[in-house]
Chains A and B, each alone.
Chain A
Amino acid sequence: MIFLLALTGFEIHSSFSLFGYETAVDLHNKAAWAFIILIIFAIFWHFTTGEWKQYIPTTENLRAQAEFYLFGIFRNAPHPTKKTLISKLNPLQRLVYLGLKVLIIPVMVVSGLLYMFYRYPQDGGIEIINVDNLEIIALIHTFGAFILLAFVIVHLYLITTGHTITSNLKAMITGWEELEEDDEEISKKEDNE
C-alpha cells in the first residue's frame, strides 16, 4: 500500500508516467482511504493491546545500538538490545517509529485530507476556514512523501540485519517472531505495510 501511494503520488507530482494521471489520482485517493482505515485500526490495536508502550523513547543503549549498526554489525557482534516480550524494539527503532507515528503520518494524513477537501469551504463560502492556496499543503505533503520513502528504504534494508537475513522480514510480514532466548513463539505486532 505504501508503495502504491508512493508510485501514484510521485506520478501526480509528474516525476514519471506509469498508470496515467487520472488513474494515478484515483488510485492514490482510494489507497489513501484504505491507509487511513488501516491507521485507525492500528491506533485501536496499539491501545487495546497496550503495545503503544513499545514506543516510549529511551536513551538507554541508544549509543550502543547506533554503534552496532555503524561498526559491530561488520564484526558479527551480537545485537546490543535483547528482544523480549515486554520490549520488542531497540532504542533506535523506538525513536524512529515514534517520530513516524506522531509526526510524519499525522502530517501526511492531515495534509492529504486538506489536499482532498480544501475546495469545499470555498464553495460554501465559509470564509474563516478557506484555504486560499494549495501550495503550502502540497509542499508539506511532498516533503512528507520524501521522508516516508527514505524511511521505507532504510527500514527495508535494516530488516536484513536480524538474526539471519530473513528472520526480521518474516516477523514483519507474519507478525510472528521466534525469540532467541525463550525458544518460544510469542506474538509480535508490526505495521502491516
Chain B
Amino acid sequence: MSSMKNFTKALTFFLAIIAPLLIVTIALRQPDNDRAMLEALKTKYLTEHQSGVDHGKMEILQQDFSNPHEITAACLSCHTERGHELLQSAHFTWEREAYIPGRGVTYLGKKNLLNNFCTGVQSNEGSCMKCHAGYGWSDKSFDFDNQFNIDCIVCHDNTGTYKKAGGGAGYPVMGENGPDFKKILASVGLPKSENCGSCHFTGGGGNNVKHGDLEMALLTAGRNVDVHMGVDGSNMNCVDCHTAENHVMKGRYYGVSSTNTQRMSCEECHTAFPHQKSILNEHSIKVACQTCHIPVYAKVNPTKMYWDWSTATRKKDGEGYENLDSMGNITYASIKGDFEWGTHVQPEYSWFNGTADHHLLTDKVDTTQPFLKINTLMGEYRDHNSKIIPVKVHRGRQPYDTENLTIIQAKLWDKEKGKGALWLDLEWERAIVEGMAYVGLPYSGKHDFVTTEMYLPINHMVSPASEVVSCKECHTPENGRLAALTDFYMPGRDRNFMLDFSGKMLLILSLIGVAVHAVIRIISARNIKSAQSH
C-alpha cells in the first residue's frame, strides 16, 4: 500500500517537473558548432580570380603612350562597351539621380554636396580630382560625355605603381618620373584593395581621416582588426563583397547617397539567420549586424572626430604653422583649423532605413538649432524598414553666410598664390568670395561659423565573434550604447518608475507584514505557553 503511494508520488513528481524540463531541454538543444573547423574550410576553399586574358600579349598595349587618354582609347578598342558603363557610373559622374521626399528628383553626389571635412569639391577640383576616375576635371568645363576622359588604370592597375599627380586634376604622373606603363598594362586585372584604398582610405586629406573604418592598416592587419580582410584569415579583397555588374558597384556611402538601392549587406553571405540562438537572429529585425559586430572603429590609426574651421588662418611670424600631438597627429594647422582625433572609438547609433537627405548649398541654416546636420540618416523605431546602425559622427564648425543663412563653399586650393585660395593665402574673405562666385551663389559679405554634424555609417572593421558587443552593453539602465535612442522600450534599459516603485513597495510591505505577523505569533505563543505552565 505504502510503496504504491510512493510510486504514485514519484510518478507525479516526474510528470510535473522532470518531464517538462526534459522535453524543453531536448527541444531546444542544438548541435555545437566547430568554429575552428569552419575557419579552416573557409580558407581551404578560397579561390583566386583567374584572368582569361593575358594583357601582356596584346599588341595595342605595347606602345609608348605619351598621354593617358591614349591608354583609355587602347582599352576601349577591345572593351568596346565599358566606356558607356563608366560614363554612367558614380565613380565617374560623382552624382546620382535620386528621389528624395520633399525635394523630388535630385542630382546629388560628391560633385556638388557639402561635408564638414574639406567642406566640398567645388572650386577645388584641381586638387580633389586626384580621386576622380577620370582625367582633367579641373573646373566646370569638364566633359562628362567623353569616354576618353575615363581613367581605367587607377582601379585596374595590379602593380601598385600607378599614381595620380597631386593637383593634377586626375592626371597621372607621366614621362620620366612616371611609372612603367607597359608593365602596368601587361598585368591589369580586377581591382585590388590597394586600388580602392588609394582613394577610399585617404578621404578627407589623409589616411583614415574621413571614415574611421577604412584605412591602410586593413591591407596588412590581422583578423582582430577586420575578420574579412585579415591577412591571417580569409584575406578578402574589397571587390569580393563590393561586386560589380557593368561597373555598377555594390555598396553605398550615405554621406553622398540618398536611396535604399544597390546596398551591400552581410546577409548576402551570412544569410538572415546566421546565429544558432534564435534570440540573436530575432535582434536582426531591428538591429543591423554591424551594430554588435563592430564594437569599435579606428582600431589601428586615428580618425578625425572634430574639425574646427573657425580657428584657421592664424599666423606665427607672418607664416602659417602646424601643431602636432605626442602621437604625431596634426592638432592645429593654419590652413585648416583645429582637429581632434580618436582611436578605438565606440560608434554612436542611429535608426536607418537606407535613405538619406543632405543639406544643400542652397538650403537655409537654422541658427536656432544647436547644430546643423550635413546629412540626415532617415529612420525610426516604428519604421519597419529601419534598423539600428553604428555611426561615426564627425563634428565641426564651418563657415556660413550670416545674412543669406547658407553654408559657404570656400575656395581652398589653387596652383599658385594670390588667386584667393585659403590654403595658400590664409585669408577667409577672398576665399569665400571666390568660392561662392564659382558655385554661382550670393555672398552677403558677412560670415560666421556654424556647428555641424556629419553621419558616416560604420560597416568595416568587423571584429571576431569573441569581441562582439555583449548584451549588457545595451540592456543596461545607465550609459548603455543605445542610451541615445529613446523612441522604444528596451528590456533591461527602460522601466516605468511608478510601476517599479509600487512593485517594490508591495514586496517590502508583504515582507514586513509577514515578519510582523510572525513575530506576534512567536510572542503570543510564548505567552500562551507560559500561561499554561503557571
Contact = CB atoms under 8 A, between A and B. Distances in A.
Nearest to B473: A21
B518 interface: yes
Contact of A150 (B17, B494, B510): B510
Contacts of A30: 24-25, 28
B489 A135 contact: yes
B133 to A, nearest CB: 39
Nearest to A161: B521
A14 B20 contact: no
Interface in A132-169: 132-135, 138-139, 142-143, 145-147, 149-150, 153-154, 157, 160
B526 to A, nearest CB: 11
20 contacts: A13-B491, A13-B492, A17-B472, A20-B472, A21-B492, A33-B20, A34-B21, A38-B16, A41-B15, A41-B20, A125-B384, A132-B382, A142-B496, A142-B503, A145-B503, A146-B499, A146-B504, A150-B506, A153-B514, A174-B9
A175 B489 contact: no
Interface in A4-40: 12-14, 17, 20-22, 25-26, 29-30, 33-34, 37-38
Given A33-B24, A34-B24, A174-B9, A146 B503 contact: yes
Contacts of B514: 153-154, 157
Interface in A68-89: 69, 73-76
B495 to A, nearest CB: 7
B279 A75 contact: no
Interface of B: 5, 9, 12-13, 15-17, 20-21, 23-25, 27-28, 277, 279, 282, 285-286, 382, 384, 470-472, 475-477, 488-496, 499-500, 502-504, 506-507, 510-511, 513-514, 517-518, 520-521, 524-525, 528
A122 B475 contact: no
Contacts of B511: 153
A133 B495 contact: no
A75 B285 contact: no
B285 A123 contact: yes
Contact of B279 (A25, A135, A149): A25
Given A30-B25, A30-B28, A38-B16, A154 B492 contact: no
Contact of A14 (B492, B499, B506, B507): B492
A176 interface: yes
Contacts of B494: 135, 138
Interface residues of A, number: 48
B487 to A, nearest CB: 9
A150 B13 CA distance: 26
B489 A134 contact: yes
Contact of B528 (A22, A75, A174, A176): A75
A143 B285 contact: no
Contacts of B513: 154
A58 interface: no
Nearest to A145: B503
A119 interface: yes
B488 A134 contact: yes
Give the top 9 A-B pairs by smallest Cβ distance, nearest first: A146-B503, A135-B489, A21-B471, A74-B524, A37-B20, A157-B514, A34-B20, A14-B492, A150-B510
B471 A25 contact: yes
A155 B493 CA distance: 31
Contact of B9 (A74, A139, A143, A175): A175
A21 B44 CA distance: 37
B510 A37 contact: no
A61 interface: no
A107 to B, nearest CB: 14
Given A119-B285, A122-B285, A74 B521 contact: yes
Contacts of A21: 470-472, 475, 492
Nearest to A11: B492
Interface of A: 1, 12-14, 17, 20-22, 25-26, 29-30, 33-34, 37-38, 41, 69, 73-76, 119, 122-123, 125, 132-135, 138-139, 142-143, 145-147, 149-150, 153-154, 157, 160, 174-176, 185, 192
Given A14-B477, A154-B513, A1 B285 contact: no
A192 B510 contact: no
A123 B387 CA distance: 12
Contacts of A13: 491-492, 495
Given A76-B524, A175-B12, 16 more contacts: A14-B476, A14-B477, A14-B495, A17-B472, A21-B475, A26-B279, A30-B28, A119-B282, A134-B488, A134-B489, A143-B499, A145-B503, A146-B499, A150-B506, A153-B514, A176-B9
A4 B495 CA distance: 21
A22 B471 CA distance: 6
Nearest to B511: A153
Contacts of A119: 282, 285-286
Given A135-B494, A157-B518, A192-B17, A149 B9 contact: no
A146 B16 contact: no
Contacts of A33: 20, 24, 27-28
A36 to B, nearest CB: 9
A49 to B, nearest CB: 12
Which of A37, A74, A122, A149 has the largest number of chain B CB atoms within 10 A?
A74
B15 A149 contact: no
A18 to B, nearest CB: 12
B281 to A, nearest CB: 10
Nearest to A36: B20
A25 B490 CA distance: 13
A154 to B, nearest CB: 5
A68 B388 CA distance: 58
Contact of A154 (B12, B21, B510): B510
Contact of A139 (B15, B496, B518): B496
A13 B475 CA distance: 9
Given A22-B471, A157-B514, A122 B491 contact: no
Contacts of A150: 506-507, 510
A152 to B, nearest CB: 9
A112 B490 CA distance: 15
Contacts of A143: 499, 503
B491 A12 contact: yes
A10 B209 CA distance: 44
A37 B16 CA distance: 9
Contacts of A192: 12-13, 16-17
A51 to B, nearest CB: 14
Contacts of B510: 150, 153-154
